[in-house]
Amino acid sequence: MTRFFGWSLSVVLVCFLCAAAVISMVGLTDSAEETDLAVVPGNTVLPSGAVSPRLKGRLDAAANLFLHGKVKAVLVSGGIGAEGFDEADVMKRYLVAQGIPGAAIVTDNKGINTFETARYTAALVREKGYRPPIVVTQFFHIARMELALQKFGVATGGHVHARHFEARDVYSLAREVFGYAGYAFKQPDSVR
């Protein structure tokens, strides 16, 4: 019985490590076609109201796409965090300070999680007739964000990862393995 348990645990560990490797490889391999929209999911806003380094990395990558003519607009999505700030509004202010015209920034104030960001993005893409959007987030989050968009019938025009890395990315990557697996079974009406 002990041998079977050890073997089973080894199989689970190998599968987990393979999944983490695939998520990392996908996320670290940028590919971005010229398109209409970049989608930036929210993240922590500091107690001061400034963007966190992780969120700054996402926004800088999106600003770079816009300033180099790869996208015509940027969607920033987030809700009100524990600090009391609306992530989407803070993100928009940051992008405007980086030279992105306010008229080119779309805010989604209901993007409380990845699935809700995908829901809003899909509706916007259909309403405006946009080409497939580019996903801009941390490398470990890209695969799940793209999967969520697919659940709402939206393909992506590629993705670009934030150039900000930190020690907690190891934890975040492990969490994404489980998050991706959970999203594989989610359907658009199962989450609100």
Euclidean distance between CA atoms 78 and 114, whole angstroms: 9
Give the model confidence (pLDDT) of 166-182 as tens digits: 999 999 999 999 999 99
Euclidean distance between CA atoms 152 and 189, whole angstroms: 10
Give the model confidence (pLDDT) of 78-92 as tens digits: 999 888 899 999 999
DSSP 27: H
DSSP state letters, 131-169: PPPEEEE-TTTHHHHHHHHHHTT---SEEEE-S---TTH
Helical (H) or strand (E) element with 106: strand 105-108
If phi over 0 gives left and psi between -120 and 50 gives alpha, with beta otherwise, what is residue 132? beta
pLDDT band for position 191 (cuts 50, 70, 90) = very low
What pTM was computed for the model? 0.91
Give the model confidence (pLDDT) of 23-77 as tens digits: 999 999 999 889 999 999 999 999 999 999 999 999 999 999 999 999 999 999 9
Q: For a pLDDT cut of 70, what percent of the chain falls above it?
A: 97
